[in-house]
Protein backbone atom coordinates (compact mmCIF):
# COMPACT_ATOMS: atom_id res chain seq x y z
CA UNK A 1 0.00 0.00 0.00
CA UNK A 2 1.35 3.42 -0.98
CA UNK A 3 1.90 5.88 1.77
CA UNK A 4 1.18 9.54 1.50
CA UNK A 5 4.06 12.00 1.49
CA UNK A 6 4.41 14.00 4.70
CA UNK A 7 5.72 16.91 2.60
CA UNK A 8 2.59 18.77 1.52
CA UNK A 9 3.40 21.50 -0.99
CA UNK A 10 1.38 24.72 -0.88
CA UNK A 11 2.64 27.39 -3.25
CA UNK A 12 2.38 31.15 -2.99
CA UNK A 13 1.27 32.87 -6.18
CA UNK A 14 4.83 34.15 -6.65
CA UNK A 15 6.27 30.63 -6.36
CA UNK A 16 3.60 29.29 -8.71
CA UNK A 17 4.43 31.93 -11.34
CA UNK A 18 8.17 31.36 -11.06
CA UNK A 19 7.87 27.56 -11.28
CA UNK A 20 5.54 27.78 -14.27
CA UNK A 21 8.00 30.11 -16.02
CA UNK A 22 10.86 27.67 -15.42
CA UNK A 23 8.77 24.72 -16.62
CA UNK A 24 7.76 26.57 -19.82
CA UNK A 25 11.10 28.12 -20.68
CA UNK A 26 12.62 26.41 -23.70
CA UNK A 27 16.18 27.24 -22.62
CA UNK A 28 15.86 26.07 -19.01
CA UNK A 29 18.09 23.12 -18.10
CA UNK A 30 16.21 19.81 -18.20
CA UNK A 31 16.81 19.10 -14.50
CA UNK A 32 15.37 22.50 -13.52
CA UNK A 33 12.29 21.90 -15.66
CA UNK A 34 11.69 18.49 -14.05
CA UNK A 35 12.14 19.91 -10.54
CA UNK A 36 9.70 22.72 -11.28
CA UNK A 37 7.15 20.28 -12.70
CA UNK A 38 7.52 18.01 -9.65
CA UNK A 39 6.78 20.93 -7.32
CA UNK A 40 3.82 22.08 -9.44
CA UNK A 41 2.27 18.62 -9.60
CA UNK A 42 2.87 18.07 -5.88
CA UNK A 43 1.06 21.34 -5.19
CA UNK A 44 -1.91 19.96 -7.17
CA UNK A 45 -2.08 17.15 -4.63
CA UNK A 46 -0.69 14.30 -6.73
CA UNK A 47 1.17 11.47 -5.03
CA UNK A 48 4.84 10.79 -5.81
CA UNK A 49 3.94 7.67 -7.77
CA UNK A 50 1.51 9.61 -10.00
CA UNK A 51 4.01 12.42 -10.57
CA UNK A 52 6.67 9.88 -11.49
CA UNK A 53 4.36 8.22 -14.00
CA UNK A 54 3.45 11.54 -15.62
CA UNK A 55 7.05 12.72 -15.87
CA UNK A 56 8.59 9.29 -16.50
CA UNK A 57 10.76 9.53 -13.38
CA UNK A 58 11.35 7.04 -10.56
CA UNK A 59 9.21 7.61 -7.48
CA UNK A 60 12.38 7.97 -5.37
CA UNK A 61 13.58 10.93 -7.45
CA UNK A 62 10.18 12.61 -7.14
CA UNK A 63 10.23 12.01 -3.38
CA UNK A 64 13.72 13.50 -3.05
CA UNK A 65 12.89 16.69 -4.94
CA UNK A 66 9.50 17.10 -3.25
CA UNK A 67 11.23 16.97 0.14
CA UNK A 68 13.97 19.39 -0.96
CA UNK A 69 11.43 21.88 -2.27
CA UNK A 70 9.39 21.57 0.94
CA UNK A 71 12.45 22.29 3.11
CA UNK A 72 14.28 24.85 0.96
CA UNK A 73 11.57 26.31 -1.31
CA UNK A 74 12.91 28.17 -4.38
Instruction: Name the more confident of 74 and 35.
Output: 35
Assigned domain for 49 exists: yes
Q: Sign of the CA dihedral 9, 60, 72, 4?
A: positive
Give me the domain span that covers residue 43: 13-72
**Count of structural domains within the chain:** 1
Assigned domain for 8 exists: no
Q: What is the pLDDT of residues 8-34, one digit of tens each?
A: 999 999 999 999 999 999 898 999 999
Q: What is the pLDDT of residues 43-69, one digit of tens each?
A: 999 999 999 999 999 999 999 999 999
Query: 48: which residues sit within 8 A by CB, 6+ positions away?
Result: 5, 42, 59, 62, 63, 66
Contact 27, 6 (CB under 8 A): no
pLDDT classification of 2: cutoffs 50, 70, 90: low
Assigned domain for 21 exists: yes
Amino acid sequence: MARESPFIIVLTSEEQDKLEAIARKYTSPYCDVMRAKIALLAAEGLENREIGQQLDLPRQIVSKWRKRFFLERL
